[in-house]
Copies of this chain bind each other. A is one copy, B any other.
């Protein structure tokens, strides 16, 4: 057999290559679960050969960790982004935060599958457990600060409990809304989330969500 032609390639910066490999890993896990993310499949999607993974990451496990941390950071960042460009009224800000978490691109079945695919590693790998916990607390603290800004009387302990409750509610709705897409009407999850968070906190968020995009008219 004659020697195969060696493929041409471009040298890229370290950050580019690492980002490409991380993105490829996330996409594959989101699409086909953890077992679909083999070193060969990751390399193929990133447009490189398998050996390059070990050039940038000590092992596949390290790439896996990096991909998870990137996922979690991205999700909280997207939530916080929703607070930019919204008014200063506390109820309005909270409503914006809640509804952003219950809409695409945060509410997405691929994101759920990706997140779920890492659960057992979160349990067993101390570094991942730390990253997961930090990300959870970061999100909850944003929530708690939004709650604290509401015009109500409430102790800090009560605000903590309310933040835990709202966080759980949002997470559960995010999960079910993402996976059971066609079990709910368009915008139903957002409306239910706003109403329930409002009920838990004793404020009316629906009335303050008028400025936000219509839940029923979200583009795919």
Question: Knowing A117-B116, A192-B165 touch, does A123 contact B172 (C-beta < 8 A)?
Answer: no
Closest to A30 in B: B120
Q: Mark A125-156, 1 if CB is under 8 A from B, else 0.
A: 00000001100110000000000000000000
Nearest chain B CB to A40's CB is how many angstroms away?
16
B32–A34 touching, CB < 8 Å? no
Tell me whether A167 is interfacial, beta carbon within 8 Å: yes
Q: 0/1 per residue, A103-122, Cβ < 8 Å to B? A: 00000010011001101111
> For chain A, which range describes its interface: under 10, 10 to 19, 20 to 34, or 35 or more residues?
35 or more
Contact among B116, B123, B180 with A136 in the assembled complex (CB-CB below 8 Å) = B180
Q: How far in angstroms is the closest Cβ of chain B from A59? A: 15
Interface of A (DSSP majority class): helix
Closest Cβ–Cβ distance, residue A183 to chain B (whole Å): 7
Q: Is A76 an interface residue (CB 8 A)?
A: no
* Interface check A57, CB cutoff 8 A: no
A218 to B172, CA, bound (A): 24
Chain A residues 80-126 with CB under 8 Å of chain B are 109, 112-113, 116-117, 119-124
Tell me the bound Cα distance from A34 to B113 in angstroms: 13
Q: Could you mark each residue 59-78 of chain A with 1 if its beta carbon is under 8 Å from any beta carbon of chain B, else 0?
A: 00000000000000000000
Instruction: Say if the beta carbon of A39 comes within 8 Å of chain B.
Output: no
| A168 to B176 Cα, complex, angstroms | 7
10 A-B Cβ contacts within 8 A? A33-B120, A161-B192, A164-B173, A164-B184, A165-B169, A165-B192, A165-B193, A165-B196, A168-B171, A169-B196
